[in-house]
Structure 1
Amino acid sequence: MIVPGQAVRVVVATRPVDFRKGHDGLAAVAQNALGLDPHSGVIVIFRSKRGDRIKILVWDGTGLVLVYKRLEQGKFVWPQVRDGVMRLSRAQCEALFEGLDWRRVHAASRVRRPSAAE
């Protein structure tokens, strides 16, 4: 998968979309139905009705990139179907893409600087 920098916004469209849509169709869904700017660098993850397919749309500065993945066995772990989007961390996005349960990935808590280093 194309891994962006740390400070990128990742969102999941929680309602399944028509997987016949390509770059422009998914960009239109992101803009019109989800209220996102697909050309801002936000990573938008779309799910299929069956839950075993994923499409990821991202603007890389020169064009729209569409990544498609189908799991051979099992299904992706998805949030509950409802309108809108849900935000994921970069680590959760990577877990989702690998077919792992992204809900088990939590951000590391900030570690204080050791007093010996001061």
Structure 2
Amino acid sequence: MMRPDDLSITVYLHKAPVDFRKSINGLAILVEAEMELNPFEKALFAFCNRQRDKIKVLYWERNGFCLWYKRLDKERFKWPNKQASDVITLTTQELNWLLDGFDLWSNKPHQTLNYQSVI
């Protein structure tokens, strides 16, 4: 069984909102046609609806597709802006943060320092 906390699993985020009437077959077609990825690889494919209150995660497990679904009662998922590329790659840790409500795109790291010498 694929474990969502497995660090070797890549998470692909479909940036554009998806019609959530789509189920396994429709989402697998989106993975192949729009994301240009293989839906049978060891990966998670995450989709969000237009209101950003629902997420579906599709993945292949040995002999069939699995579909995981989360619906929020009050809040909204933080989703990447339109300037980001069509497909975004996340780690499983980042997916967990996204599911917990963190905004991965507004966080900024410390400034990069480029020194030439320690003296």
Scaled to the shorter chain, the TM-score interval is 0.7 to 0.9
How many pairs were matched up?
Answer: 105
Identity of aligned residues (%): 30
Q: Write the distance in 1 (CA, Å) between the matches of 2:58 and 2:80.
A: 18
Give unpaired runs (5+ residues) of structure 2. 110-119
Q: Write the distance in 1 (CA, Å) between the matches of 2:11 and 2:92.
A: 7
What is the CA distance between 1:101 and its match in structure 2? 2.7
Tell me the C-alpha RMSD between the 2 structures: 2.0
Q: Write out the 4+ residue segments of structure 1 that deviate beyond 3 Å after TM superposition.
A: 102-106
TM-score for both structures, normalised by structure 1: 0.80
TM-score for both structures, normalised by structure 2: 0.79
Q: Write the distance in 2 (CA, Å) between the matches of 1:30 and 1:88.
A: 15
Query: Compared with structure 1, are the counterparts of its residues 105 and 66 closer, same or farther at alpha carbon in structure 2 (3 Å cutoff)?
Result: farther
Q: Deviations over 1:41-60 (max 9, x none)?
A: 22110010001110000112
Question: Which structure: greater helix fraction?
Answer: 1
Q: Write the distance in 1 (CA, Å) between the matches of 2:52 and 2:108.
A: 20
Q: Helix, strand or coil: the match of 1:102?
A: coil
